[in-house]
Amino acid sequence: MINSVTFVVQPIARLVSVAAVIVLGAAALYAPTAAQAQATTSATPKAGQASQATDAKVDPKADTKPDAKPDAKPDPKAKPKSDPKATAKPESKPAAPSAAAISATTPPSLSPIQVGELSSVPAPAIAAKAWITVDVTSGQVVSSSNADQKIEPASLTKIMTAYLAFTALKEKRLTLDQQANVSQAAWKTRGSRMFIEPRKPVTIDELIKGVIIQSGNDASVALAEAISGTEASFVTLMNEEAQRLGMTNTNFMNAGGLPDPQHVSTVRDLATLARRMINDHPEYFPYYSMREFTYNKIKQPNRNRLLWADPSVDGMKTGHTEGAGYCLVATAKRGDRRVITVLVGSDSMATRAEESLKLLNWTFQNFETIKIFDKAQAAVESRVWQGKTENTKLGVAEPLWITVPRGKAGDVKPVAKRPDPLFAPLVQGQKVGTLSLMLDDKLLRTEPLEVIDPVERAGVVGRWSDSIRLWFR
């Protein structure tokens, strides 16, 4: 009797041991490491709709096999395959992907296209060396020409000078009614002038008006000295701020924009600066819409002709040197939309105004800006493994706007790309993938996909349970 029981129990014990080995192997195989996380791409709903996207299925057995190396030498210790025709057999079909994975479209390029390329109305011909038009809300470049060509920025430089002055005011390092010293260096600065004089009272408010409205090089130097002590120290601050703002092709040599071989920028960088001016210092932006200013009994008009030509235009800055030609950063607000244009290298004051207005009109008339996702709105729900909860919401940190050709808002397709499997722990704000916005199978922009709802790591039992389920997934 005992022998017969032993005969039955021993095979069962062996079977249990084998099962335990498999379970432990699965737990080790699916430990939450970056190397095991496989990217999955899934389409999210159209603009403004939250979703619960199904994660694409993956074959865990295929994940563990390294890619074959065609040049690798055969292993002499390896056993030959029993079937010599095995290599000729086609590979087995992978598990059927989810509906979300089928409908997903992977971005065709690493960089987004300019939305103007998708418009049925092409950008107008512009008589300038370089130009760009940007939607302020979305930050998208609608269209451009020679956007990254280094150019002489001339007095467009003064946007940075004013930007740093407004920052100093906001940080209480300056006050508008504060008296500023006029040095000999500031007084003797060549070029366009405000006509400040040593020992003649001038306030920070007046210097700012002299920089913005009258485009005074003397005012720029005096304002720089009021902020940093010397113009040279101020130029260092200008370049540090330019790098912080992402103006990677810009280098300043002076505060006013006087010609210098190393004083360069691009229309893209200048558009970045203009947008940051509008967004970072809205309380001081009205300076740019002032049409004239009188100092030292000398009245000078703002050289931006568009302030008279179009009531929607409320800034920003003109520039001119012989080498730079006639330049203009212009901005207008129509309804809830604001657009910036930067144009350099035109042949006259009239041309720079006409061509800038042409760009503004084209951008407003043929494009619209829409909100795709609000702050902390879920773009996709994702399955989480080895966590205390099974799902989490993924989205964007700030409201996500996009500029599209008019009538195309409903055709925008958000595409989420994230690790699969996604393992806990996950903290709020953690970047776990990308969210790409597609239109007509073209990439418009890509933003980081962040965790909205944090997920703590599960206990030992929960992690083992998920490891087993992943093995049979």
- Catalytic residue annotation: 155, 158, 215
Of how many residues is the chain composed? 473
Would you say 135 and 363 are in contact if contact means Cβ atoms under 8 Å apart? yes
Distance CA 234, CA 251 (A): 13
Number of neighbours of residue 343 by Cβ within 10 angstroms = 29
Q: Which pairing describes strands 378-385 and 422-423: parallel, antiparallel, or unpaired? A: parallel
User: What is the separation of C-alpha 213 from the centre of its chain, rounded to a whole number of angstroms?
Assistant: 31
Edge-to-edge strands, sheet with 130-135: 141-145, 130-135, 337-346, 325-334, 313-321
Token pair in block for residue 121: 């109305």
User: 362-372 burial, b if ≥16 CB within 10 A, otherwise e?
Assistant: bbbebbbbbeb
How far is 208 from 222, CA to CA, in rounded Å? Answer: 10
Give me Rg for the CA atoms of the chain: 31
Which amino acid belongs to residue 245? L
